[in-house]
Amino acid sequence: MDKARDYCGVVGVFNHPDAARLSYFALHALQHRGQESAGIVTSVYDEAKRRRVMPVHKDFGLVLDVFDDKSLFEDTLVGDSAIGHTRYSTSGSSTNPANVQPFVTHFQEGHLALAHNGNLSNARALREALTARGTLYTSSSDSELILHLAAQSEESGVVPRIIDALHQCEGAFSLVILTDETLIAVRDPNGFRPLALGRLPAAPGREHPGWIVASETCAFDIVGAEYVRDIEPGEILVIDRPGVERVGEGKTPEAVAGFGGVCMPRRHGVSQCVFEYVYFSRPDSLVFGAMVDKVRRRLGKRLAHDAPVPLVKKGEGKRPLVMAVPDSSNTAAIGYVSESNKMGRRCKLDIGLIRNHYVGRTFIAPGQSSREQKVRTKFNTVRGVLKDRIVVMVDDSVVRGTTARQLVKMVREAGAKEVHFRVSSPPVANPCFYGMDFPSREELAVNAHGSVEEIAEWLGVDSLGYLTVDGMMDAVETAHESRDRYCHACFSGEYPVPVETGVVKEENDW
Amino acid sequence: MDKARDYCGVVGVFNHPDAARLSYFALHALQHRGQESAGIVTSVYDEAKRRRVMPVHKDFGLVLDVFDDKSLFEDTLVGDSAIGHTRYSTSGSSTNPANVQPFVTHFQEGHLALAHNGNLSNARALREALTARGTLYTSSSDSELILHLAAQSEESGVVPRIIDALHQCEGAFSLVILTDETLIAVRDPNGFRPLALGRLPAAPGREHPGWIVASETCAFDIVGAEYVRDIEPGEILVIDRPGVERVGEGKTPEAVAGFGGVCMPRRHGVSQCVFEYVYFSRPDSLVFGAMVDKVRRRLGKRLAHDAPVPLVKKGEGKRPLVMAVPDSSNTAAIGYVSESNKMGRRCKLDIGLIRNHYVGRTFIAPGQSSREQKVRTKFNTVRGVLKDRIVVMVDDSVVRGTTARQLVKMVREAGAKEVHFRVSSPPVANPCFYGMDFPSREELAVNAHGSVEEIAEWLGVDSLGYLTVDGMMDAVETAHESRDRYCHACFSGEYPVPVETGVVKEENDW
Amino acid sequence: MDKARDYCGVVGVFNHPDAARLSYFALHALQHRGQESAGIVTSVYDEAKRRRVMPVHKDFGLVLDVFDDKSLFEDTLVGDSAIGHTRYSTSGSSTNPANVQPFVTHFQEGHLALAHNGNLSNARALREALTARGTLYTSSSDSELILHLAAQSEESGVVPRIIDALHQCEGAFSLVILTDETLIAVRDPNGFRPLALGRLPAAPGREHPGWIVASETCAFDIVGAEYVRDIEPGEILVIDRPGVERVGEGKTPEAVAGFGGVCMPRRHGVSQCVFEYVYFSRPDSLVFGAMVDKVRRRLGKRLAHDAPVPLVKKGEGKRPLVMAVPDSSNTAAIGYVSESNKMGRRCKLDIGLIRNHYVGRTFIAPGQSSREQKVRTKFNTVRGVLKDRIVVMVDDSVVRGTTARQLVKMVREAGAKEVHFRVSSPPVANPCFYGMDFPSREELAVNAHGSVEEIAEWLGVDSLGYLTVDGMMDAVETAHESRDRYCHACFSGEYPVPVETGVVKEENDW
Amino acid sequence: MDKARDYCGVVGVFNHPDAARLSYFALHALQHRGQESAGIVTSVYDEAKRRRVMPVHKDFGLVLDVFDDKSLFEDTLVGDSAIGHTRYSTSGSSTNPANVQPFVTHFQEGHLALAHNGNLSNARALREALTARGTLYTSSSDSELILHLAAQSEESGVVPRIIDALHQCEGAFSLVILTDETLIAVRDPNGFRPLALGRLPAAPGREHPGWIVASETCAFDIVGAEYVRDIEPGEILVIDRPGVERVGEGKTPEAVAGFGGVCMPRRHGVSQCVFEYVYFSRPDSLVFGAMVDKVRRRLGKRLAHDAPVPLVKKGEGKRPLVMAVPDSSNTAAIGYVSESNKMGRRCKLDIGLIRNHYVGRTFIAPGQSSREQKVRTKFNTVRGVLKDRIVVMVDDSVVRGTTARQLVKMVREAGAKEVHFRVSSPPVANPCFYGMDFPSREELAVNAHGSVEEIAEWLGVDSLGYLTVDGMMDAVETAHESRDRYCHACFSGEYPVPVETGVVKEENDW
């Protein structure tokens, strides 16, 4: 897809002497969820101050760059619990560090740090109520609202306050919260964003295992943690002691066990983000109970039926060449090709686009219109593969369509005889109010250029085929997760949670 | 003096198209008031968002380094009002940017940015009350309290809320506050810290002049502003419109005129910080109605009486050589020498210590005990001047005494026959609760080493002489400011404003 | 393969007003040939000095980082000819910039800048002769020798001197040389390293086209240049005037035409580096007259015969799963799978390893043995794909084998039932003296661990299969390039150019 | 003076385990001799390579910034001999590191590193001869010539070659040269630039002392070294073994003793640079056998006679106020005032200009004409001191005069009744060919504005007085150094060493 980049990645570690270091590796594994800034907070007892403190280090940049000083882990980020965050934001020109997460605050019950992936759909109402009570904001983030709600709660005790605060939130919030004594993992009742629990081997000399929560399970693999289960939609899991060996693995809210915690009521049913499967999550992650790459392969297979390869009979010419737009569409393309061949639509998988992996954030295009150059800086066509061939490009999604259009142009320049475009998801037609940063409705290809035929013409392709919403949901559905447990609002316009009317993205970006 | 480093410098500009740039030069002139971090906030109408916004840029480092990108002034920090801050803090290892000022926040009446020089003496009580109401803190600074008080005030309108908030504060606070429409300059009722008002020439094409407030008037000189008057102790001056040519120059609170504003009641009388004269302010500033260098010269003259030059009669040897510890004691030494000679105590001013001006913050002393090396990196003795002479070193103050001791050692190594030490202030013996960062009581030379004789022995000098508190106040007193309008608690222990019992410096440094 | 990283990428541009900018994009496309440092030199007439000068900018870092300041292209690197270089070196700890290319020098005929890809095999003899004549070296690079030879030549005129110098060199040298008036492209008589000539569209307002030479043709695509032909082995092409529309495209040395230039005699026949096909070049480049990805696919196909997929008959279990070690082995794996299925060896291509593309140079592994962590930081397994499967891993080459071994371990941990390892080249068994930076002979897997069986055991695989040298050469051979025109010394030990006895890599690294 | 910035500082250390660290501190003390770049080279035996190597670290920036990484001293710059360099250059826009010293090279006798302060007056002839022999240059510096001369010498052995090379050089060269076995200190036969020898206390566990050479003795103080003697004009001192306790202190070339070494013939007599006394050296240094601050005080005293204070008789008004332009004129002003009062010309020393010491290299003046702002950023006037006074400004020299003019303007704005300008040297009227970087002849105030009266008018002063060349030389002359042992060509135009006709500064700056 062409760059609906947003989201965040979160991680939390409990009861491990290397909490910050493990968070660092985990954040690195989650780097695809946000490349703009990174941060880690730990909780540690300060001998000199005779109380717990929360050292923090965060900055703009990639995880490996923000934490490129070894002494951070030795001198600053000590302690055996930690949370971390990696984030993409659209306000690139800003140099204000106030929005870089995790947020670290202090209130009457002690310290409170929070890292958030998602978007509150009732943020405006919450903000208005808080504002009327004299609340002062230091960031423009929804996430700060949750902290204020906890601080102003009439409950007493840090955990009851947080539970109270979360009950007032609507929308998408996969959270990790660090208090002086506990690590809290939260998934909103709809379960929009993923969040999983893992177990770390007990550190040398420790009796009990450590615990880790992260946006995706690929973060567990890098630190050698074992996947235990997902945080359930609506679950507030309070990890407050190491001595728990098994954590309830039941799939109902009632079955939260092991650690403390409660479940929030589900007002709108479960509605997990299907776009995590389509594009966002890493293929090697287990998300919403399924391996992402498997779902993606099924999307590709279904696409073979819904938008088949052009038919070229034996003897009538070379088989059409199917190529992925790397890297996010690789798996779908494999499924597409294998299913097509099974269906008797002869075709061949090949690599027609090479992605340059040295493209960092510092790209400048001195003295030239940069858009086209930027795509050329990132991709190159393989002429020998494409020349004189019927080419079928498989992409995971089309949002704005501008990158796709540029790639089609390059594929044609490389000599392709025909260019067909296949998308392993339906057209993105609606904004997301649950955490994904799509461009404005007007900029979406489907709105800017009209019907599928009109988009095809604008893209410059011989044919264009999408998955239908139904086709996509067929592919996503599994034995244990029925199709009605997903949100596909960006494709279908069916929003599972009512959104405040007229919300615009930047309204809180004071 | 050796290391009473703290304090901050603040600046505010109103009605000038180059508000941020003028703030930048002003902060540079105030750099001596804090070298750890610097920041500027502006207020500007954002056409896209159709409302005002407050862009900010702040970071650790010197002013010229933090703002070393020209485009900041062209693209980011636009707008015709601004405030700025430069700060020293003791928590050097911290990488948390949350404490870097100015603070920028948002609440129900709009934006609020604040830059603070000083320390609230009732911070604990305020914090407790705010905390009990569910306040969430993002920094450990007193300054944040003022913003919360305003946000939670029962007044309505941004200015009435700020006035309400300030009435609850005690202690030292010279503030500049930026709102969406106004620039507010505040000095606490005691007037501990300086704050002055200046007028900028009208910018090209503008009918009215611009306005500037700054910690010291040296900031006016660098931008070509004209000194108007001090902000009065207790005054809250609200600069809300450019079309005021003259601002009331009366010296009583009642006489605040021109712009809006009010005066806070004075519960404890005026008590301006005498240490601003002794060491902190730049000699070319007009502070508390007097030129700093003039006061410093008078301190030196008085010192000539209280702690005279050793008597060496004509024919009995070379005149004693008087030298300043550069640069802060230069003026006092000039006064000391001229008065001594008038008194018949023959002596001669000379330059016996050279200060290396390339010592930045990045000094490292690889592989060596760094304390002694650091002094040697900063100062060098002039052997030809000192050899075989009776040397009288004049320093502005002695706090911990460790640098002084090292310098004495170096002067002896350079061949001085005798070393006498003269201090143009009394011994620093008590902590400051109004904004100056002295070391702990135990570390002060006078507490660590005992009587004047004992300190002299520890310093390794042949004689040691201080000013008395009385002598100092004689020198400070002027026609228009009586001696009882100053705070000298760090010397005398007489605190003009009661301090919360048992306050320790780091208590809020969560 | 596991990291025989070395090599360099070179580029030259002639007659284009954006010479430096085009070089920048070209170097970015060549980034895979060296990630340690980057540099660009231009030639421009300096009005003030009334003669030509050669401004240069070079530093350690990736291309996009070294040139992250737009003003470099506007103020410094002006002029319409340029050369550039990107380089990998092994002496990572060094901070000496003297070895960063291009080298810029001055001698009696004017300026001379050079960028070099390769290694002189008679460097020691040349160095000894030069040294005896009183030559002073400022770098430890072979490349400097060429410049000294030109400066000390008895010919007169800059081009004759360069030609004279090059006739004395043996080994591998693909060079671009910038003089005050010309751009010279050179390939050694063996043609070890690639170098291609392209034509740029005439810049606006210019009558004639621009010219570009680069290590690989992928650099042409990014700047919109058209591939013209390879620089011939032994050719010294002197590009000295823009007004040449066609440049001789004959394939014999005699046919060099268009621009000036000569051909060096071929003492040892043509011997192009087969490792460029195996691993080094980008798949979208045309190298030695063939598209790299096509050759790689043929290598994979041949491997299917030489080291077939384990036979699993229909009904006897799931098809073996073939996976590439991404990204360099992707194409070979595609060829391997398609050929295997044709042969009746049922198998299935899938993605079992995900590569994390955010791994930059700043990786640190605080507090842990870093080798294993580094591999985990770069790759993650896809458990759902690998679990309970017979897995065939296809890698392009095995040098040291340590990364392969770590990956095998990870694949097993992911649940693979069997792990078979297939390598689309023979074992690397000998050092390269022509520019590739392999580890020492003792560290090569084949020497460290013995027979194929022993290596298999050490790697922890169920079977291990390589291509034979013959098989590899079958795959590489094309209609227009016979197999005896390649060097495969690293595999076969047959060195086409005699190497000075006892040369060790660091001998010149003074 | 207003910015005749150039020069360099050099240092060499022999037989001390902390050679690099001592060089670092010494360079910091020499920072005033050049702020653009800094570098250190050491010589150490490399166990792995089984021979000596010369690690180097150098970069643009201040000493403390270039060496801000402690590990440099622990991991890279090891070894017990070292040389270092700090340099100012005029080509500020250049990013080419090739000109940053020390130069490190290799030739047939081993390594050779060199740091140079000065300028060869026969550089053109040497360059032509070398060039004709096929020499290749990598920098545009004179210093490189010396290295080539040594490499191409017909002598054998590294020291004889260097001696041979130096005999061919004319002009100014104070050098430190590091070879694999020795440290060589050289001063040209005229002795234009200073260079002194010091002894370091024996390092712990070592039998013999260490040795240090440096441009000025202030570098000895910071590392605790003892001044031994100056390197004699023409002396080539070869420090090749630690076991020498005393080094010949005779003042004739014949008396060079202790270490090895020779003396070059003096073709033109000794002609030490008087400008070192006037402005360049630090006042706490012993240069050419005299303390700089003493000479400067004598210059001020003599100035009192040659250009006296305006006469204001008792009762006819306040005494004229004499102020230095800080910091370089402080000592001269002290001498001027004391002598004036002795002469009956009543006057008073005071501090009328404050210098801001936080002005680094990163100053930017966004959106404004920067020249005037830059002066204002660096200096501020003390209005209370200057108001209504007759002010006599004492400056050490006037070169271009632009800063002086700006300061005069500021002093007038501060209310001075009259402004008189006194310069403790004659007008700078001629270029220096021996290492000082004055602006072009046309830019010098004396050439640009004419007679003293015309300059006075241009400066905007009521009177202007210089020292005469005779007066200056009277003040400089001492018992042991007669006035004819100095060069004052920049004042008098009498060049002690013939200069190649028509040399322009940039001619070698290819």
A55-72 average pLDDT score: 86
| Residues forming beta bridges with residue A10, ordered by sequence position | A85
Digit-coded pLDDT (tens) for A191-204 = 999 999 999 999 98
Alpha helices in A152-269 (DSSP H): 158-167, 218-223
Backbone phi and psi for residue C233, each to the nearest 5 degrees, phi listed first? -55, 125
Mutate to test the interface with B, among A46, A56, A109, A136 (most CBs of B within 10 A): A136
Residue C4 is predicted with a pLDDT of 30
CA distance D317 to A83: 74
Nearest residue to B467 via CA among B277, B295, B275, B302:
B302
Put simply, the answer to whether D137 touches C105 (Cβ < 8 Å) is yes
Contacts of D104 in chain C (CB under 8 A): 96, 98, 138
pLDDT in tens, chain C (510 residues): 333 334 689 999 999 999 999 999 999 999 989 888 899 999 999 888 888 999 999 988 888 888 887 788 988 899 999 999 998 754 333 456 677 899 999 999 999 999 999 888 898 899 999 999 999 998 888 889 999 999 999 999 999 999 999 999 998 999 999 999 999 999 999 999 999 999 999 998 898 899 999 999 999 998 999 999 999 999 999 998 776 665 655 444 444 555 777 788 877 789 999 999 999 999 999 999 999 999 999 999 999 999 999 999 988 899 999 999 988 899 999 999 999 999 999 999 999 999 887 765 444 444 445 667 788 888 999 988 999 999 999 999 999 899 999 999 999 999 999 999 999 999 999 988 887 777 778 889 888 888 999 999 999 999 999 999 999 999 999 877 889 999 999 999 999 988 765 444 444 455
Please indicate whether residue D442 or residue B154 has the higher confidence score (pLDDT): B154
Distance CA A300, CA A427 (A): 15
Helix (H) or strand (E) holding D456: helix D452-459
The torsion angles phi and psi of C210, rounded to 5 degrees, stand at -95, 170
pLDDT of residue A71: 81
pLDDT at B258: 58
Does residue C329 contact residue C299 with C-beta atoms inside 8 Å?
no
Quick one: average pLDDT of B321-325? 96
Kindly state the percentage of chain A with pLDDT values over 90. Answer: 62
Q: Write phi, then psi, for B84 (nearest 5 degrees).
A: -145, 165
Contact D439, D387 (CB under 8 A): no
Does the distance separating the beta carbons of D377 and B282 come in below 8 Å?
A: no
Length of chain A: 510
- Nearest CA to D488 out of D503, D506, D468 is that of D468
B357 pLDDT more than 80: no
What ipTM did this prediction achieve? 0.84
pLDDT at B168 over 60: yes
Q: Among candidates A273, A359, A270, which has minimal Cα distance to A4?
A: A273
At residue C164, the pLDDT reads 94
Chain D touches chain A, with at least 3 Cβ pairs below 8 Å, answer no
Domains of chain D: 9-270 (3.60.20.10), 276-492 (3.40.50.2020)
Helix or strand run (H / E) with residue C383: helix C383-386
Q: Report the residue from C56, C95, C106 with minimal CB separation from D96.
A: C56
How far apart are the C-alpha atoms of D255 and D261, rounded to whole Å? Answer: 11
- Tell me if A56 and B96 make a contact (CB, 8 A cut-off): yes
List the one residue out of B349, B325, B320, B327 whose CA is nearest residue B337.
Answer: B349
Compute the average pLDDT of residues A128-157: 92
Could you tell me the pTM of the whole model? Answer: 0.86
Q: Find all residues with CB under 8 Å of D1, minimum gap 6, and list them.
A: D278, D279, D328, D395, D396, D397, D398, D399, D428
Name the token pair of C324: 């590439």
Question: Is C395 one of the annotated binding-site residues?
Answer: yes
A190 secondary structure, DSSP code: T
Residue D3 to residue D375: CA distance in whole angstroms:
12
Sort B30 into a burial class: Cβ within 10 Å, 0-12 / 13-18 / 19+.
buried
Interface test with A, best of B124, B162, B510 (most A CBs within 10 A): B510
Q: In this predicted structure, what is the pLDDT of residue D255?
A: 44
- Chain D residue with minimal CA distance to C103? D138
pLDDT at D220: 95
CA B409 to chain centre: 30
C54·D148 Cβ contact <8 A: no
Residue in the structure block whose two tokens are 């991680």: A11
| Segment D140-153, tens digit of pLDDT | 888 899 999 999 99
Whether A159 and A217 have beta carbons less than 8 Å apart is answered as no
Helix (H, G, I), strand (E, B) or coil at B171: strand
Residue D489 in tokens: 């060509």
* Contacts with D456 (C-beta within 8 Å, 6 or more apart), sequence order: D421, D462, D463, D464
Q: For D366, which of B21, B284, B385 is closest by C-beta distance?
A: B21
Whether B218 sits among the annotated catalytic residues: the reply is no
In chain A, whose CA is at the least distance from the CA of B508?
Answer: A106
Which residues of D define the annotated binding site for [4Fe-4S] cluster?
A: 273, 432, 487, 490
How many separate helices (H) and strands (E) can be counted in chain D?
17, 25
Nearest to A354 among C282, C359, C384 (CB): C282
Q: What share of chain A is helix, strand, coil (3-state, %, to 5)?
A: 30, 25, 45
Is the pLDDT score of B379 beyond 60? yes
**CA angle at residue C252 from C246 to C256, to 5 degrees?**
35
D66 to chain B: closest CA residue = B362
C-beta atoms of B104 and A134 within 8 A: no
C-alpha separations of D267 from D120, D190, D488, D493 in Å? 15, 8, 18, 19
To which H or E segment does residue D111 belong?
A: strand D110-120
Is residue D252 exposed (0-12), middle (13-18) or buried (19+ Cβ within 10 Å)? exposed
Q: Mapping DSSP to helix (H, G, I), strand (E, B) and coil, where does residue D372 land? A: helix
Instruction: State chain B's mean pLDDT as an integer.
Output: 87
| C-alpha distance from residue B333 to each of B299, B328, B476 (Å) | 9, 10, 16
Highest-confidence segment of A124-128, A457-461, D235-239: A457-461
pLDDT given at position B65? 83
Torsion of CA D480, D485, D490, D492, to 10 degrees: 100
> Please, what sign has the CA dihedral across residues A386, A390, A394, A397?
positive
Asked if C200 and C210 touch (Cβ cutoff 8 Å), the reply is yes
Structure token pair of residue B326: 């550069």
Q: Measure the CA–CA gap between D87 and D231, rounded to whole angstroms.
A: 21
Residues 6+ apart with CB under 8 A from B425: B275, B278, B279, B299, B396, B397, B466, B467, B472, B491
> For residues C368 and A227, which has the higher predicted lDDT (pLDDT)?
A227
The CA distance from B27 to C218, in Å, is 51
Record the tokens describing residue D5, joined without a space.
Answer: 């910035």
Please identify which residue in the block is written with the tokens 């915690």.
Answer: A261
Backbone angles phi, psi at B170, to 5 degrees: -125, 155
Q: What is the largest CA-CA distance in chain C?
A: 82
What is the three-class DSSP state of D330? helix
A52 Rama class: left (phi>0) / alpha (psi -120 to 50) / beta: beta
pLDDT of residue A264: 85
Residue B96 pLDDT exceeds 70:
no
Using CA atoms, how far apart are residues D415 and B236, in angstroms rounded to an integer? Answer: 32
Q: Count Cβ atoms within 10 A of the Cβ of residue D10 and give its class: 0-12 exposed, 13-18 middle, 19 or more buried.
A: buried
Token pair in block for residue D146: 């010396």
Per cent of chain B over pLDDT 70 is 89
C-alpha atoms less than 13 angstroms from C-alpha of A251 in its C-beta half-sphere = 5
* Chains B, C in contact, 3 or more Cβ pairs below 8 Å: no
Q: Which residues, 6+ apart, have CB-to-CB distance to A271 below 8 Å?
A: A190, A191, A192, A485, A486, A487, A496, A497
Residue matched to tokens 């589900």:
A266
Tokens of C337: 């799978």
Known binding-site residues of B equal 273, 328, 395-396, 432, 487, 490
Q: CA-to-CA distance for B458 and B436, rounded, in angstroms?
A: 25
Structure tokens at B392: 């009288």
Q: Within 10 A of A157 (CB to CB), how many other CB atoms are there? A: 10
Residue D509 has pLDDT above 80, yes or no: no
Establish whether C490 is an annotated binding residue. yes
The closest alpha carbon to B173, from B186, B164, B183, B158, belongs to B186
